[in-house]
A and B are shown apart, each in its own frame.
Chain A
Amino acid sequence: AQTVTQSQPEMSVQEAETVTLSCTYDTSESDYYLFWYKQPPSRQMILVIRQEAYKQQNATENRFSVNFQKAAKSFSLKISDSQLGDAAMYFCAYRSAIPGGGADGLTFGKGTHLIIQP
Chain B
Amino acid sequence: DAGVIQSPRHEVTEMGQEVTLRCKPISGHNSLFWYRQTMMRGLELLIYFNNNVPIDDSGMPEDRFSAKMPNASFSTLKIQPSEPRDSAVYFCASRIWGGETQYFGPGTRLLVL
Contact = CB atoms under 8 A, between A and B. Distances in A.
B43 A91 contact: yes
Interface stretch (A15-23, A78-86, A96-104): A96-104
Given A104-B31, A104-B55, A47 B101 contact: yes
B104 A111 contact: no
B74 interface: no
Contacts of B50: 104
B5 to A, nearest CB: 13
Contacts of A105: 33, 45, 48, 56, 59
Interface residues of A, number: 25
Interface in A27-48: 33, 35, 37, 42-47
Given A101-B56, A105-B56, A109-B42, 8 more contacts: A37-B104, A44-B104, A45-B93, A50-B101, A105-B48, A105-B59, A106-B43, A110-B42
Contacts of B61: none
Contacts of A107: 45
A40 to B, nearest CB: 11
A100 B54 CA distance: 11
A108 interface: yes
B54 to A, nearest CB: 11
Contact of A108 (B42, B48, B89, B95): B42
Question: Which 7 pairs from chain A and chain B are nearest by CB?
Answer: A105-B45, A45-B104, A102-B56, A108-B43, A110-B42, A43-B107, A44-B106
A96 to B, nearest CB: 12
Contact of B109 (A43, A50, A52): A43
Interface string A70-93: 000000000000000000000100
Contacts of A47: 101, 103
Contacts of A104: 31, 33, 48, 50, 55-56, 95
Given A43-B107, A44-B106, A108-B43, A102 B58 contact: yes
Contacts of A33: 100
Nearest to A91: B43
